Amino acid sequence: MKKLLYTFLAVSIIFAACKKEDEVTTPVTNPIAPSIVGVWTPTSISVTQSMSATVMGQIVESLSFDTTFTASPADVGMEGDVEFTNDGNMYNDGDTNSYTYSGSTLTVTEDGETETNPCTITSTSLTIMFSDTETYTEDYMGQEATITESWDMTLNATRQ
């Protein structure tokens, strides 16, 4: 009986004396960024606009729509889903355009013109920001006026 007790005690001491090995951890790798490839349904569009008229270096009229309004895509003439394919094609409303997406920038080529826009993608949502400024001249009360119109638009969509 003593032998059994001594054996049990010796085994217990051996297990207690053993140093626990350090756990091997695998370094965390960067998660894979969500892909733009897929079908996206536009859910809302937000637009902010401004306009100014300048005559002889002086602003004579200025309009600014500082408030943002949200409209459905159909309200601004956008119909149907947008599809981005693996081969670099973008389909929307019967049109086919080419695109590239890198980092957080979406570049679309339509009718030979290229437009680059900031873009945010998650596994379920897509947000594309558009900005444009147009400057032209026209008659303003008998004077040549320089008209500057600017707008910012944000398109929000969900993955299908």
- pLDDT digit string, tens, across residues 33-49: 789 999 999 888 888 88
Q: What is the pLDDT of residues 130-146, one digit of tens each?
A: 999 999 999 888 889 99
- At 15, give phi and psi (nearest 5°): -65, -35
Segments of the chain scoring below 70 in pLDDT: 1-31, 66-71, 76
Tokens at residue 88, please?
Answer: 């670099």
- For the chain, the structural domain boundaries read 34-159
pTM for this prediction: 0.68
Residue 47: predicted pLDDT: 82
pLDDT at 48: 85
Q: CA end-to-end span of the chain, whole Å?
A: 73
* Cβ–Cβ < 8 Å for 6, 14: no
